Amino acid sequence: MPKVKTNRVNYPEGWELIEPTLRELQAKMREAENDPHDGKRKCEALWPIFKIAHQKSRYIFDLYHRRKDISKELYEFCLDQGYADRNLIAKWKKPGYERLCCLRCMQPRDHNFATTCVCRVPKHLREEKVIECVHCGCRGCASGD
pLDDT tens track of the chain, all 145 residues? 565 656 788 899 999 999 999 999 999 999 999 988 888 888 888 899 999 999 999 999 999 999 999 999 999 999 999 999 999 999 999 998 899 988 888 888 877 777 778 788 888 888 877 788 888 888 888 876 5
pLDDT at 5: 57
Angle 34-39-43 (CA atoms, 0-180°, nearest 5)? 70
CA-CA distance, 142 to 99, in Å (whole number)?
6
C-alpha dist (Å) from residue 90 to 25, 51, 69, 87, 129: 21, 18, 19, 5, 29
CA-CA distance, 13 to 134, in Å (whole number)?
40
Alpha carbon of residue 12 to chain centroid: 22
Say if CB 89 and CB 79 are below 8 A apart. yes
Q: Is 38 exposed, middle or buried (0-12, 13-18, 19+ CB in 10 A)?
A: exposed
What sign does the CA torsion over 127, 129, 130, 132 have?
Answer: positive
